[in-house]
């Protein structure tokens, strides 16, 4: 049982504690493989249960799958953001790309727009 003092942090708060590169990598594939260079960071920020090792006998894991509350949160946010992006008019996308239109929103939403505008593969 969890103590009242041990409140589970909001996923957006946990997400904000990751480096920009780690955030973008996890947002790109919220329920997939964690790039090896971010496994340690994800574990230290999100907890041991945030990854499932593909090869559990390694001292230093090289392959891990992202899981848990932050993974679930990012997966749902990605679905919503993909639908939002697909519904945008081409002119609005161009305005975002040029910086004519300011996108003021949560860090997850802002990172998503960054991925889209840099042409990052989101599959």
Domain ranges in the chain are 11-117
Helix (H, G, I), strand (E, B) or coil at 99: coil
3-class SS letters over 25-84:
HHHHCCCCEECHHHHHHHHHHHCHHHEEECCCCCCCCCCEEECCHHHHHHHHHHHHHHHH
Q: What is the pLDDT of residues 57-89, one digit of tens each?
A: 666 567 888 999 999 999 999 999 999 999 989
Mean pLDDT of the region 11-31: 93
pTM to 2 decimals? 0.81
- Tell me how far apart the terminal alpha carbons of the chain are, to the nearest angstrom: 38
Residue 7's pLDDT is what? 63
Residue 1's pLDDT is what? 40
> What CA–CA distances, in Å, run from 63 to 14, 36, 69?
22, 6, 20
């Amino acid at each position: 049982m969890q103590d009242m003092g041990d409140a589970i942090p909001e996923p957006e708060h946990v997400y904000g504690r990751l480096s920009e590169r780690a955030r973008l990598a996890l947002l790109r594939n919220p329920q997939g493989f964690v790039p090896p260079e971010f496994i340690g960071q994800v574990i230290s920020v999100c907890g041991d249960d945030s990854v499932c090792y593909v090869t559990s006998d390694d001292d230093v894991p090289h392959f891990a799958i992202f899981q848990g509350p932050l993974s679930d949160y990012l997966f749902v946010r990605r679905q919503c953001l993909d639908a939002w992006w697909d519904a945008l008019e081409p002119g609005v996308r161009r305005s975002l790309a040029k910086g004519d239109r300011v996108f003021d929103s949560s860090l997850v939403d802002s990172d998503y727009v960054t991925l889209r505008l840099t042409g990052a593969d989101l599959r």
